[in-house]
Amino acid sequence: MRNQLRSARLAVLGTAVATVSLIGATAGVSGLAATAGAARAPHARAHKAGGSVSVWGEWSTTEQASFLAAVKPFEQSTGITVNYSSKGSNMDTAVEAAVAGGKPPDVAFVPDPGTLDTLASQGKLTPLAPVLGPLVKNYGPAWTKLASYHNKLYGVWYKAANKNTVWYNPALFKEAGISSTPTTWQQLLTDSATLQAAGVTPVSLCTDIGWPVADLWQNLYLKSAGAANYNALAAHKIPWTNPTVTRAFDLLGQLVGHPSYLLGGTQGSLANKYPNCVDKVFPKPGTMPQAAMVIEADFVVSEITGNSANYTAGTTGKGGKACTANPSQTPCYDFFPFPAPAGSAKNASALQGAGDVGMILNDTPQARAFLKYMATAKPAEIWARRGGLTSPNKTVPLSAYPDPVTRADAKELVDASGFVFSLDDLQGSWEPQLWQDMLNFVKTPTKANIASIERTMQSQANTAFAKAGKK
């Protein structure tokens, strides 16, 4: 996830970055000033406690403003000041370095359960079950398991991203006479053929430096092999030459081995960067969509709605008018859950995604109070209403989400029977090589190449895990 965001940010022009961060910084500063003011207000002091809690997270700019808004009620009711500092995309490194240096923040939100495991194994974290009490039940078993180490809970999930999504332009589906979205991978391929007969290119395949292809492959692996195999593969406990791996490549080959299903064919796909690949399905006004579907996580929504305020979530356009392909009129966007291959229905509600988990690194009463608050529905609800957050917390009312698409997205997260993190993000040093291997497959999606790619991946993983094992 963080890599995705990093790459996405890279694509933005320098000036835009500068402007945005300037605005963000201003918002952040004024937000901090506002919270500090609130803490000093006399009615707040009347309550009790006081003091402060230092919090690190990866959220900056608008996300930082939303987070500060979400913790404001906590500051007001307890008089505890939240000193938030954003570490950007380097959260894991920053936290591990701070812990090693002996000066960790009180609370940190990390985008990687691996960091939670590492720190828990070193005994640096506070067990949360006694702190949270009944609040533990706000999360489904899949989430509790992910925030636990040796069956002890150490983390509170606050924000989650869902990669189990295929985004489509409803107007183009309608043009091709497709009235219901595919529920199996095979159906997706059949619908692709229909779209093509209608003269609509089915898929704008995001490739970038390989991570979007890895996301797609991981969805196929999770759906065809199940969460147990997925986690075993992620931990390099089953080899990359395993038949389950071959099966996932075969499934991917059914799409990428059909260049005419891909916008620009194979060559065009290899040049398709994120987020441009999203813009080709949901363009800015003035251009028409070039393809019907884009397969990526729910973070594409900000790109779509950023392209034009005309975009409406769901299959009904603005003002109840029919969705149009023309982004200057009443365009729409919607998603369907990533379809499992036929015969793998039992894995259908296992999701791939990412999330930020909060943990206590300095056991203070303020930190405990803060994390207790973060496990309630309130902070998630505040951010959700502002847009840009989906929470795995069951008690967050779906009505808090601003539109039907986000609501469906959040419901998927809450109902997930299993939740797995992006496998590539758990590979450590060979992650960029894994991405290259995925691109190699897009380049040459043949059976013979699958075998050779698998051998390469196995040896890369061996090297990487052998090194990591020496630690």
Partner 1 sequence: MTLVHAPSPATTPARPRPGRSRPLRRHAWSLLFLAPAAVWLAVVVIYPVFATIRYSLFNDSGSFVGLSNYKNLFTTNSLLIPFRNNVIWVVIFPFFVTVFGLVFAVLSERIRWATAFKAIIVMPIVFSTTASALVWTNIFDLDPHVGAVNAAVQAVSDWFNPPGAYPVDTAAGQTVAALASAGDRSANGAILSTATVHPGDTVRLGLIGISPLTLQRLGAKPPRQPTAAPGSITGVVWRDFSPAHPTDRSTLYPDEQGLPMLHLALLGAGGSSVASTTTDTRGLFRFSGVPPGTYRVQVVPSNFQAGFTGTFWLGPQSLTPTGSASQTAQALLSVPLIDVGMIIAYLWIWSGFSMVLIGAGLSALDRQVLEAARVDGATEWQTFRRVTMPLLAPVLTVVFVTAVINVLKIFDIVVNMAPGASQQQANTLALQIYNSGFSGGIHTGLASAIAVILFVLVVPAMVWNLKKLRASNT
Binding region for partner 1 (CB under 8 A): 10, 13-14, 93, 174-178, 194, 196-200, 207-210, 258-260, 262-268, 270-271, 273, 288, 325, 427-432, 435-436, 439, 443, 464, 467-468, 470-471
Provide the minimum distance between the beta carbon of 460 and partner 1 in the complex, in angstroms, as a whole number.
10
Residue placing its CB nearer to partner 1 in the complex, 26 or 446: 446
Rank residues 156 and 255 by Cβ distance to partner 1 and give the closer one.
255
For partner 1, the closer of residues 59 and 430 by Cβ is 430
Half-sphere exposure of 445 (CA within 13 A, CB side): 23
Rounded to a whole number of angstroms, the minimum distance from the CB of residue 325 to partner 1 is 8
- At its nearest, how many Å lie between partner 1 and the CB of residue 385? 36
Shortest distance, position 424 Cβ to partner 1, whole Å: 9
Please say which residue, 30 or 267, places its beta carbon nearer to partner 1: 267
Where on the phi/psi map is residue 78: left (φ > 0), alpha (ψ -120 to 50), or beta? alpha
Q: End-to-end alpha-carbon separation of the chain, Å?
A: 25
Burial (CB count <10 Å: 0-12, 13-18, 19+), residue 335 = buried
CA-to-CA distance for 159 and 392, rounded, in angstroms? 7
Pairwise CA distance, residues 78 & 122, whole Å: 31
Instruction: Decide whether 62 or 194 has the Cβ nearer to partner 1.
Output: 194
To partner 1, the closest distance from the beta carbon of 75 in angstroms equals 36
In terms of CB distance, is 246 or 436 closer to partner 1? 436
Cβ contacts of 149 within 8 Å, gap of 6 or more: 116, 117, 120, 121, 125
Rounded to the nearest whole angstrom, what is the least distance from the CB of residue 264 to partner 1 in the complex? 5
Nearest alpha-carbon partner for 83 in 43, 48, 51, 60:
51
Q: Are strands 291-294 and 165-168 parallel, antiparallel or unpaired?
A: antiparallel
Q: How far is the CB of 197 from partner 1 (least distance, A)?
A: 4
Looking up tokens 């065009």 gives: 268
- Pick 10 or 228: Cβ nearer partner 1: 10
Q: Would you say 304 or 438 has its CB closer to partner 1?
A: 438
H or E segment to which residue 420 belongs: strand 418-421
Give least dist CB 50 to partner 1, A. 40
Nearer to partner 1, 162 or 266 (CB): 266
Nearer to partner 1, 208 or 303 (CB): 208
Burial class (CB in 10 A: 0-12, 13-18, 19+), 446: exposed
Which lies closer to partner 1 via its Cβ, residue 11 or residue 49? 11
Residues 6+ apart with CB under 8 A from 288: 325, 326, 327
Task: Give the DSSP per-residue string, 8-76.
Answer: HHHHS-HHHHHHHHHHHHHHHHHHHHHHHHHHHSHHHHTTS---EEEEEES--HHHHHHHHHHHHHHHH
Contacts of 399 (CB under 8 A, 6+ apart): 407
Whether omega before 275 lies within 30 degrees of 0, making that bond cis, reads: yes
Quote the least distance from Cβ 280 to partner 1, whole Å: 10
What are the beta bridge partners of residue 168? 293, 334
Q: What is the DSSP string of 219-230?
A: HHHHHHHHHHHH
Q: Count Cβ atoms within 10 A of the Cβ of residue 399 and give its class: 0-12 exposed, 13-18 middle, 19 or more buried.
A: exposed
Q: Minimum distance from CB of 418 to partner 1 (Å)?
A: 26
From the CB of 103, what's the least distance to partner 1, in Å?
Answer: 20
